[in-house]
Amino acid sequence: GAGVSQSPSNKVTEKGKDVELRCDPISGHTALYWYRQSLGQGLEFLIYFQGNSAPDKSGLPSDRFSAERTGGSVSTLTIQRTQQEDSAVYLCASSLKLGEAGELFFGEGSRLTVL
Amino acid sequence: SQKIEQNSEALNIQEGKTATLTCNYTNYSPAYLQWYRQDPGRGPVFLLLIRENEKEKRKERLKVTFDTTLKQSLFHITASQPADSATYLCALNSGGYQKVTFGTGTKLQVIP
């Protein structure tokens, strides 16, 4: 696609429910990143992928968070048993190749509200 | 611990003046540093990248400096315009090139 696409753009859920957030990166971009941005805050690094592999999962806030990437393309961030503190905008970015200096292309984010 | 610090207070400047934003980092040895612009409700947009062996980089009205001794980058917008009002984020790599970490951002308001 022309840019990084994220869905849903908005998600309201009840505490305790599971949610899935999807990221479709720019075609040909092998590196993919997930960040979380709480209201008025900076970007909190969650995880990155090179191809389908996630070498560093240390940024995931708890074991309720998981992410996968299939076919070197689409990635899904799953939050199980959501809590109110999970409310934030989840941003996905892709870049041409991990291991080389280059710009990150961001999607518009998925705004998650946990009631 | 590792830190990337940007002025958390909003910066208000008059139209036509030069805006200067600061990014300081601690316990990183980045090979490069990037600056992004973020408008409300939108994802960040890349502006400039500067490598550790570069002192200065320019693009139109934007200028970035990178001082690895001071562990600081300065971001300048000359002849600022109200349309430049946004939050500006610096980002640098760690763990090789692999992890890109962002500062908290500085909100710039250009007053007509």
Per-residue pLDDT at A3 exceeds 90: yes
What does the pLDDT read at residue A98? 63
Q: Is B36 exposed, middle or buried (0-12, 13-18, 19+ CB in 10 A)?
A: buried
Q: Which one of A6, A26, A44, A103 would you mutate to disrupt binding with B, by most B Cβ within 10 Å of its Cβ?
A: A103
* B11 Cβ contact list (under 8 Å, min separation 6): B19, B21, B106, B107, B108, B109
Residue, of A74 and A28, whose pLDDT is higher? A74
What is the tens place of the pLDDT at every residue in A18-33?
A: 999 999 999 989 889 9
Mean pLDDT calculated for residue range A65-89: 96
Which of B42, B94, B98 best probes binding to A when mutated, by most A CB atoms within 10 angstroms? Answer: B98
Q: In sequence order, which residues have a C-beta less than 8 Å from that of residue B70 and are 6 or more positions away?
A: none
Give dist(CA A92, CA A89) in Å, integer: 10
Residue A1, pLDDT above cutoff 60: no
Does B66 have pLDDT greater than 60?
A: yes
A111 touches A13 (CB < 8 A): no
Please give the DSSP secondary-structure letter assigned to residue A53. Answer: B
Predicted local distance difference test score (pLDDT) of residue B93: 83
Its sign, for the CA torsion B87, B90, B94, B100, is positive
Which of the 8 DSSP states describes residue B18?
A: P
pLDDT per residue as tens digits for the range A27-55: 989 889 999 999 878 899 999 998 898 88
Q: Write the residue in A55, A104, A107 that is nearest to B46 by C-beta.
A: A104
* Beta-carbon separation of B98 and A50 below 8 A: yes
Q: Using a CB-CB distance cutoff of 8 angstroms, which residues of chain A are in contact with residue B41? A: 108
**Partner-chain residue, chosen from B36, B44, B97, that has the shortest CB–CB distance to A98:** B97
